[in-house]
Amino acid sequence: MSIFVEISVIIVIATVVSIVFRLLRQPLIIGYIVTGILVGPYVLNILQAHNEIELFSKIGIAILLFIVGLTLNPDVMREVGKTSLVTGLGQIVFTSLIGFLIVQALGFGILPAIYVAIALTFSSTIIILKLLSDRGDTQKLYGKISVGFLLVQDIVATLILLAITVMGKISPGGEIVLSSLVITQILVLVGKGLLLAIVLYLISKYVLPLLSSFVANQQEVLFIFSLAWGLGLSSLFYLIGFSIEIGALVAGITLAVSPFSYEMASRLKPLRDFFIMLFFVILGAGLVVSEASALVMPAIILSTFVLIGNPLIVLILMNLLGYRTRTAFMSGLTVAQISEFSLILIALGFSFGHIDQEIVSLVTLVGIITIACSTYLILYADHIYAFLKPVLKLLTFRKSVMSLSESDRVGADTIIFGYDRVGHEFVKVAKKLSQDYLVVDYSPVSIERLQTFNIPYRYGDADDVEFLDEIGFREAKLVISTIPDFKTNLLLVSTYREINRDGIIIVISHNISDTKALYEAGASYVVMPHHLGAQHAASLIETYGLDASGFELEKEKHWQGYLDANGRYV
């Protein structure tokens, strides 16, 4: 069978399996692994051109890691915030330590135990973003925190990839060899890496901005440039002694500050999806059935730790940081699976001879179990939380805390949810009317501005009914929500109207059907930004006609409205 026919058959089978898994609401990663099992030697035995398809899978890994690198903007840690940083690092430390002890107790050696423990640590950014999007929770507090500590995991994974590359030099085949020759080779490798890092830093600062701006004028050229840069640097790193994986990540990081990084990533994603499918097919085909049956019990034990232990670790860490039980629980569920990064790390360790096929099969089984189960855990998280709520209360070790500059005010006449979008306009009105007001937000950037302008605020989640009761939400005379999420606004309106029939509640909506539902639930007024914006623009045309000076005046007034007396953005 020619390689063309072979790949075609694999794609057809992968399509059928993917449709089935889509109906089961499962991530396609599992479908691809199952496809690999089907086309492998134990079922249909279709996969013959193993080396050629493995080459394609390496391209998929390189593109995947290049795209991950594109998201790792050096300024990302500021956006992530302290909570995501502490939780992310804490979860990595505790999961890897406990995981190592469990794997050792199961009878595996030290080096395999280290690899498996690291694999259990990382969660899938791709899968979690998809599930959060399906739930409409990407803009909620737990969603923001979860995405934040997943980014922290990606950064740590980058460092671990680098460490594994170095380990490949000092411990070929898993045996640690520290001869003078090996030490010299390591020093030379580190020297090459530092020199290359300096060169790439200078290129990314002075050359890439000009080059990317030039190639961005034509989308096809931008696509080819992105691919050439990612694969080219991957090859360069491989040639000087590093791994293809670390080269791809570094290639992405060098372009992360580019204003065109998101466009590059979006252009490459279809290509990534095709080639990475072949990686998971190869992984599934390599699953040794005879070994897999013997690994079922260890896989179940490790999967149980990932499904229960990882969320519990995050729950405890966030509880100690002062977050409410619901937010901590929902965030914890997002780490209840291992990631594609875990499988890539294991494959890399196998290529260096640090671990054998048995460990690869074990981690693959854990991946199948945890990804499948965690999908349903996240999709039905609200029901699971309601069921476990009495038990979760027992895990509350610390009462909810506030930052030092946070207001302890409760029962304010006016409560404004969200500051950074349009909330600052309502704050201006509240100040002019001398109203007793309180702003609720959870964005680190917004909190920083609220502190700067000495605005009374509470750090909290509008979806948390307990938090709403704590700030006297139902007794407020005026409630304003600038949050764009329909489910959150519907919760606010229905909760407010349970006991407060006379107060005013204003929310935001972006389509007619949602607006109708919010009015039916009891909203006093629903702001539709697009409609109001169009009406305002139409009134300006009616006022000024073709008089350009009038629009210049309005533009100046418009911009000044976003600045305070010192010219700072409010």
- As a whole number, the mean pLDDT across the chain is 85
Lowest mean pLDDT segment, chosen from 105-114, 255-264, 307-316, 497-506: 255-264
In this prediction, residue 489 carries a pLDDT of: 93
Pair of tokens at residue 503: 């107060």
Topology of the domain covering 3-393? Na+/H+ antiporter like fold (1.20.1530)
Task: Decide if pLDDT at 398 tops 60.
Answer: no
**Residues 251-268: tens digit of each pLDDT:** 998 998 888 888 898 889
* Calpha distance 324→343 (Å, rounded): 33
pLDDT band at 172 (very low <50, low <70, confident <90, very high): low
Task: Decide if pLDDT at 401 tops 50.
Answer: no
In this prediction, residue 155 carries a pLDDT of: 83
pLDDT band at 515 (very low <50, low <70, confident <90, very high): very high
Mean pLDDT of 348-374: 90
In this prediction, residue 43 carries a pLDDT of: 87
Beta bridge partners of 152: none
Q: What DSSP string runs through 478-527?
A: EEEE----HHHHHHHHHHHHTT-SSSEEEEE-SSHHHHHHHHHHT-SEEE
> Is residue 436 classed exposed, middle or buried when 0-12, 13-18 and 19+ CB atoms within 10 A define those classes?
middle
Report which secondary-structure segment, H or E, holds 440: strand 437-441
What percent of the chain clears pLDDT 70, i.e. is strictly above it?
90
In this prediction, residue 176 carries a pLDDT of: 56
In this prediction, residue 565 carries a pLDDT of: 45
Task: Decide if pLDDT at 78 tops 50.
Answer: yes
Q: In what order do the strands lie in the sheet with 457-459?
A: 457-459, 437-441, 414-417, 478-481, 504-508, 525-527
**Residues 261-307: tens digit of each pLDDT:** 888 988 898 998 898 899 889 988 887 766 677 889 999 999 999 99
Which CATH number does 414-527 carry? 3.40.50.720
In this prediction, residue 329 carries a pLDDT of: 92
Task: Decide if pLDDT at 77 tops 60.
Answer: no
What percent of the chain clears pLDDT 90, i.e. is strictly above it?
31
- Going from N- to C-terminal start, the domains of the chain cover 3-393, 414-527
Task: Decide if pLDDT at 549 tops 50.
Answer: yes
Task: Decide if pLDDT at 73 tops 80.
Answer: no
